[in-house]
Amino acid sequence: MLDEYVSRTYRTEVRPSVEANLVKDKAAIVGIGQTKFMRNSERDELDMACEAIKAAVEDAGLSMEDIDGLVAFTLERLAMPVLISCLGIPNLRFTNEISFGGGASCATVLHAAAAVVTGVANYVVCYRSLNEASGHRYGRGDGYARQLTAAPSPHYGYHWPFGFLTPLAWAGMYGKRWMHEYGVTAEQIGWYAVVLREYAQKNPNAIFYGKPMTHQDYMEARMIVEPLRLFDCCVDTDGAVAIIVTSSERAKALKQRPAYILAAAQSVVTEAEIQTSYNRPIISGLPDHWYMGQELFRIAGVTPKDIDVAQIYDPFSIGALMQLEELGFCGRGEAAAFCEGGDRIRVDGELPINTSGGLLSEAYIHGFNLIAEGVRQIRGTSTSQVKDAELVLVTGGPGVPTSGLILRR
């Protein structure tokens, strides 16, 4: 079974490596900024984006005049000329958008890094701003369908007419198969959600700060889409997060300890459909993450064992657990057992995960809050600081073209 899995869905041979990766260690994240994370911002996304970007620029010790690059998501609703005029950025010489939602998060950093390393730009802002709680909610099938029909994605035609409309439903299909195939139990999965809620209790910026949750609370919460219960799901959030990328050379002169980008990678594997790649021979894995991990560790020259703390994109608990397997932190089917009892993923465990509370318990800013937390771990300023964290892994969303980072102190 596993053999078929690897040889058919995955490619056993990754194609010839590029000779040298110039992004490696040559760029750094030097500023982070964010708004409050809210359930109802009562603000415009433009306004929140400006606040987060200004905070990031100030955090880096730069001025707005220094910024000459901007990278966002294609899902970002703001027109870039409006944004730069509001911010007072004189002009840009590098700007692009990364396809789709959460899978794009770390890819923004990859593209920004390529720009600063090649001297195309000096200081690139990457950001995400969304009213995902009070505004358009991806979890509502109607709005999601309307948005996605803008692009001809023929596969949705097989799903929507039958009411199979939401990311949760699509993810549940993978989750159910994964649990069946490896004998995973809800009790095991629950520990992942419980530990993240514990982290949120230490983080005053987390949506679920001051709202602890026991394993019993998790188990008793209502089922949303089998096998995903309420607290398996990320928390819809209003807010914005921004980061600043520059060259490692320039980074040294700035205000904060740089989070060096040891490796950055982006990946989409053939036979992908956005969130519904059920035509692949096996659906209990995430080939895009597998390939991204192969690239990431190859470029970085380190192994999963070297990672001190991980920020794993968790739109749903199971999506994060499957990534642990694809990235080589666990064997196939072993991630749920790895999290059982929670100790291994707590702050003094083998692999502390999502130390700010993650998308489940801190905020859902499409993965950008995970990048910010990764930087805080490198700086030593997390509310759940991993002692002497040297290497931090950050990933983008599963089920879509994805991306990842390894940050180095």
DSSP helix/strand/coil, 118: coil
CA-based nearest residue to 285, from 1, 42, 65: 1
CB atoms within 10 A of CB 394: 28
Please give the sequence-ordered ranges of beta strands (E in DSSP) within 99-145, or none if there are none. 124-131
CA-based nearest residue to 315, from 398, 395, 241, 237: 398
Q: Is 2 in the site for a second copy (CB under 8 A)?
A: no
Q: Is 80 in the site for a second copy (CB under 8 A)?
A: yes
* φ, ψ for residue 358, nearest 5 deg: 65, -170
CA-based nearest residue to 366, from 107, 83, 59: 107
Of the ranges 52-60, 134-142, 151-159, 375-383, which one interacts with a second copy (CB under 8 A)? 151-159
Of the ranges 146-154, 176-184, 204-212, 228-236, which one interacts with a second copy (CB under 8 A)? 146-154
**Cβ distance 68 to 122 under 8 Å?**
yes
- Smallest gap from residue 288 Cβ to a second copy (A): 8
Q: Is 174 a catalytic site residue?
A: no
Q: Is 151 in the site for a second copy (CB under 8 A)?
A: yes
CA-based nearest residue to 30, from 130, 126, 103, 96: 126
Position among 16, 161, 163, 204 found at the interface with a second copy (CB under 8 A): 16
Position among 4, 7, 39, 82 found at the interface with a second copy (CB under 8 A): 82
Using CB under 8 A as the binding criterion, the count of chain residues that bind a second copy stands at 67
- Smallest gap from residue 351 Cβ to a second copy (A): 25
x/- contact string, 241-280, with a second copy (CB under 8 A)? ------------------------xxxxxxxxxx------
Position among 53, 56, 62, 117 found at the interface with a second copy (CB under 8 A): 117
Give the DSSP H/E element, type plus range, for residue 376: helix 368-379
Of the ranges 13-21, 214-222, 300-308, 381-389, which one interacts with a second copy (CB under 8 A)? 13-21
Of the ranges 113-121, 136-144, 175-183, 388-396, which one interacts with a second copy (CB under 8 A)? 113-121
Position among 34, 41, 95, 203 found at the interface with a second copy (CB under 8 A): 95
Q: Is 12 in the site for a second copy (CB under 8 A)?
A: no
Q: Which is nearer to a second copy, 71 or 241 (CB)?
A: 71
Amino acid at 122: N
ω before 227 within 30° of 0 (cis)? yes
Query: Which member of 127, 144, 209, 313 is catalytic?
Result: 313
- Smallest gap from residue 15 Cβ to a second copy (A): 7
**Cβ distance 330 to 324 under 8 Å?**
yes
Position among 52, 98, 200, 337 found at the interface with a second copy (CB under 8 A): 98
> Is the sign of the CA dihedral 273, 236, 223, 197 positive or negative?
positive
Of the ranges 34-42, 64-72, 227-235, 326-334, which one interacts with a second copy (CB under 8 A)? 64-72
Position among 4, 7, 39, 120 found at the interface with a second copy (CB under 8 A): 120
CB atoms within 10 A of CB 228: 22
Tokens (6 digits) for 234: 């990320």
- Distances in Å between the Cα of 16 and the Cα atoms of 145, 255, 290, 298, 404 are 38, 39, 16, 12, 20
- Smallest gap from residue 370 Cβ to a second copy (A): 20
Q: Is 313 a catalytic site residue?
A: yes
- Distances in Å between the Cα of 330 and the Cα atoms of 36, 302, 324, 326, 364 are 35, 16, 6, 8, 25
Tokens (6 digits) for 130: 């969304």
Q: Is 57 in the site for a second copy (CB under 8 A)?
A: no
Position among 3, 42, 119, 161 found at the interface with a second copy (CB under 8 A): 119
Q: Kindly identify the residues of this chain, within the stretch 288-317, that bind a second copy according to CB under 8 A.
A: 288, 291, 295
CA-based nearest residue to 59, from 38, 87, 30: 30
Angle at 325 between CA 321 and CA 328, to 5 degrees: 135
Tokens (6 digits) for 314: 């968790």
> Which residues are at the interface with a second copy (CB under 8 A)?
11, 15-16, 18-23, 44-46, 65-66, 68, 74, 77-82, 84-85, 88-99, 107, 110-111, 114-115, 117-122, 150-155, 265-274, 288, 291, 295, 401
- The residues that are catalytic are 313, 364
